[in-house]
Structure 1
Amino acid sequence: MKKQIIFILVLLLTTTVDSIGQNQSSVVEKERVEQKDFRTQAALFHKKLIEQRHSQILDARSQEEFNQAHLPQAIQIDPAVEGYEQQLDKLIKSQPVFIYSIQTGRSTKIANLLAERGFTKIYVLSPGISAWIGAG
């Protein structure tokens, strides 16, 4: 009987933890720093980019990747390069920022840093530049 109760409690706990993981919010609490989900699908990313008069486009890939191809007017900022944060100081907080990389890892890193600095209009191309190319 005692084993059955323990089994039921473990099963209940596992189900609760699993359901919490499935009910993901766009805001994640991580180390007491609130992080938002800035990921934006290619069609909406494109629409928002066209709607904005003054937009700041950041390419979060390496210099080599940037040289191969990039969006017009994009600024290359690689978070793997030491001191990249100083380049972010040149951005204007009141203007939207559009960020892309191969996936969303590097661009999300930059987006979170910008949010910490007070930027509010941040769009990360999801799942990455391949989505943009695939969407034509």
Structure 2
Amino acid sequence: MKKSFIILVTLISFLSCNTSQETSNVTQLNVVDYKEAITKESVQLIDVRTLKEFDQGHIPKAKSIDYFSSTFKADLNTLDKTKPIYLYCKSGKRSTKASKICDELGFKKIYNLTGGYLAWSKENN
């Protein structure tokens, strides 16, 4: 009985972990992989920091869509959900939240820069 219970709990845990991975379209990328990906293809590169932060420096070809803006979701909805979207912010926290919103909105391939623009600047300066 005890052995059956352990097997059942293990199976349920495995299935629940597996399901959550399949339903998320978000991939975390380090600076090297992110840079390689955004230079290889024509991508939707989105900086979710404020306009003031964006104006102080950003990744070339990035478009500013402020996470804190009241039109954030509407602005995201103007983008092509079938094309990959690459998000970043200052440290990775806002873009992680933005990635989840993109997933909820139906984007198919979402990539988030781990460590954000701070990590990018360290690696690319």
TM-score tier (shorter) = 0.7 to 0.9
Residues 46 and 81 (structure 1 numbering): CA distance in 2 closer, same or farther, change over 3 Å?
same
Residues 1:86 and 2:67 aligned together:
no
SS at match of 2:29: strand
Name the structure 2 match of 1:112. Answer: 100
If the length of structure 2 is used for normalisation, what is the TM-score? Answer: 0.75
If the length of structure 1 is used for normalisation, what is the TM-score? Answer: 0.70
For structure 2, which runs of at least 5 residues remain unmatched after alignment?
1-12
Name the structure 2 match of 1:100. Answer: 88
C-alpha distance after superposition, 1:29-84 (max 9, x if no partner): 9xxxx5565321000001111221x2001101111001111122211111212121
| Greater RCO, 1 or 2 (C-alpha within 8 Å, sep 6+) | 2
- The number of residue pairs the alignment matches comes to 108
Name the structure 1 match of 2:6. Answer: none
For structure 1, which runs of at least 5 residues remain unmatched after alignment?
1-19
Q: Could you say what the CA RMSD is over the residues aligned between the two structures, in angstroms?
A: 2.2
Structure 1 runs of 4+ with >6 Å offset: none
SS at match of 1:99: strand
SS at match of 2:70: coil
Residues 1:58 and 2:51 aligned together:
no
CA distance in 1, matches of 2:54, 2:74: 19
CA distance in 2, matches of 1:27, 1:43: 29
Higher Cα Rg, which structure: 1
Higher helix proportion, which one?
Answer: 2
SS at match of 1:38: strand
Please say if residues 57 and 97 of structure 1, whose CA atoms lie closer than 8 Å, have aligned partners that are also in contact. Answer: yes
Instruction: Give the fraction of aligned pairs with identical amino acids, expressed as a percent.
Output: 28
SS at match of 1:39: strand
- One-letter amino acid of the structure 1 residue matched with residue 60 of structure 2: P
